Chains A and B, each alone.
Chain A
Amino acid sequence: MLVTVIFLSVLLLVTLGVAAYETYGERKVAAFMQDRIGPDRAGPFGLFQPLADGVKMFMKEDFVPATANRVLYFLGPAIAMTTALMTGCVIPWGGTLVIGDFTLNLQAADPEIGILYVFAMVSIGVYGIMLGGWASNNKFALLGAIRASSQMISYELAMGLSLVALIIGTGTLSLGGIVAGQLDGVWNIVAQPLGFLLFLVCAFAETNRAPFDLPECETELVGGYHTEFSSMKLGFYLFAEYVNMFISSAVISTLYFGGYDIPFVDQAGLTTFWVTALGTLSLFAKIGFFIFFFMWIRWTLPRFRFDQLMNLGWKALIPLAILNILLTGLWNFRTELIQLF
């Protein structure tokens, strides 16, 4: 019990730390893509920049609009942050760590509905944006909130359908089970290339990242749903987005890229401790790559128009996902089908 509490606290700190350095990474990647230097003043290579940004966020005036619904205005950023942080506990961050007599499973909980739990948290997360946007009593914020909710509902469908095809193959909803299947066999990306692409596109839409960042589209909506927020409340919204990006990358790596699996590591003759440690490191390397990929896309592609976004979701991704389910079903039951004829 105590061990789990400590593990979850460490996980919380790691998540927040990664999210903080994602803000630094985003600025460095943007600078690299635009042939600039990026932040380099705070500390060596600007490494203390997230700290300086955090202090700045805390020190700013915490302004509440006079016509805002105070309770919901407060609740919005809190819900966004809480739901973003709650998903981490079902993700398998590694195998079982053994140090002497002490064993620690690097997955805090492995409920049999693991992947659905992640889904549920994501679907509750949209309330943070909706309530915050509505409570600010500002038309730009409301428009941003409405965009966010319609976008998330549309893309949740395609995301769920692309997962169904994956689950047909894995036969389990538990994230631990999905990784275990990939440890023995091949990574799911091999069996589900189309499903992976669909999931990736939907992950961009669910995290409100460019090219789908219409809820906070600054050219049309000032700041979108967080127009009226300042100080750490704004910080929570921005930070929740980076936490979501981290968790999405972790979920993508776990579902399609073997989680903490390193191919052929069992033939290298390492002790279990090193296998576990290297496995966790490899998971973080995969996550790091996907976080970079998120940023790469953001600074490469222009933003979609809202009708393009809806058309892509409903008329391209959902039919493709259904087709993918059909194909996966046919492939998985091919022997039974051949026997029929």
Chain B
Amino acid sequence: MQILFYLFAAVSILSALFVVAAKNPVNSVIALIVCFLSIAGHYILLNAQFLAVVHIIVYTGAIMVLFLFVIMLLNLNKSTEPQKSMATRIAAVIAGGLFLLTLLGAIKDGIGIANPDVYDGSVGLVKSVGTSLFTEYLLPFEVSSVLFLSAMIGAVMLGKKDKGQPDGGEISGAA
């Protein structure tokens, strides 16, 4: 078990680094997929089967497929990559650094390392996740579903053709 933990931890960190370091965006996406799969492995080690499998279905199976889809369609490479100015780069470094600081601050006081002796192995099973979602966290759950719905409606509105626009064929249904 401990070996598996170190294996998954190493794979997730290395693949996460590769996501940032890879020159080719397709390789980046594949590294991210590997990273998500290894995080699902961590969930399984915590006996959170439901979280693991939903993580794979949603992130690996749907969101990353769409990512890959868009990147393949755009066919990004060195020549089409937009050249970033020095100011943008400095701004990105500062923003990233501030985000790191915030994360570190949050982890330092808030989360800490959980005590493995009191870990409840049933916390990630379907029953317990469902019960806590629909009792304790009912309001946040419903609010986030409204948020998703509004995002979806927004995407549909953006994707809709204007009335005067010539019809570009019926194939746009893929969104």
Contact = CB atoms under 8 A, between A and B. Distances in A.
Nearest to A120: B56
Contacts of A150: 69, 174
Nearest to A123: B61
Given A145-B72, A150-B69, A120 B125 contact: no
B125 A123 contact: no
Contacts of B33: 127
Contacts of A149: 65, 68-69
B146 interface: no
Given A116-B53, A134-B26, A307-B170, A123 B60 contact: yes
A26 interface: no
Nearest to A172: B126
A111 interface: yes
A146 B69 contact: yes
Contact of A153 (B66, B126, B169): B66
Interface string B122-141: 00011000000000000000
B8 interface: no
Contacts of A152: 65
A275 interface: no
B72 A120 contact: no
Given A153-B65, A314-B173, A112 B49 contact: yes
A116 B54 contact: yes
A130 interface: yes
B53 A156 contact: no
Interface residues of A, number: 32
Given A130-B68, A130-B72, A113 B173 contact: no
Contact of A142 (B57, B66, B72): B72
Contacts of B72: 130, 134, 142, 145-146
Contacts of A310: 171, 173-174
A120 B53 contact: yes
B101 interface: no
B61 A113 contact: no
A126 interface: yes
A190 to B, nearest CB: 25
Interface string B62-87: 10011011001100000000000000
A126 B56 CA distance: 13
A265 interface: no
A32 interface: no
Contact of B61 (A120, A154, A173, A306): A120
Given A123-B61, A150-B174, A310-B174, A117 B69 contact: no
Nearest to B40: A120
Interface string B99-129: 0000000000000000000000000011000
Interface string A152-189: 11101000000000000000010000000000000000
A306 B173 CA distance: 9
Given A120-B57, A134-B72, A156 B62 contact: yes
B126 A112 contact: yes
A72 B26 CA distance: 10
Nearest to A75: B30
A156 B126 contact: no
Nearest to B44: A111
A284 B169 CA distance: 45
Interface string A298-317: 00000000110011001000
A124 interface: yes
Contacts of A117: 53
- The list of the 7 closest CB pairs from A to B, nearest first, reads A123-B61, A310-B173, A307-B170, A120-B56, A150-B174, A116-B53, A113-B53
Given A130-B69, A153-B66, 7 more contacts: A113-B50, A120-B53, A127-B68, A150-B174, A152-B65, A153-B62, A173-B126
29 contacts: A72-B30, A111-B49, A112-B125, A113-B49, A113-B53, A116-B50, A117-B53, A120-B53, A120-B57, A120-B60, A122-B61, A123-B57, A123-B65, A124-B56, A127-B65, A130-B65, A142-B72, A146-B73, A149-B68, A149-B69, A150-B69, A152-B65, A153-B65, A156-B61, A306-B171, A307-B169, A307-B170, A310-B171, A310-B174
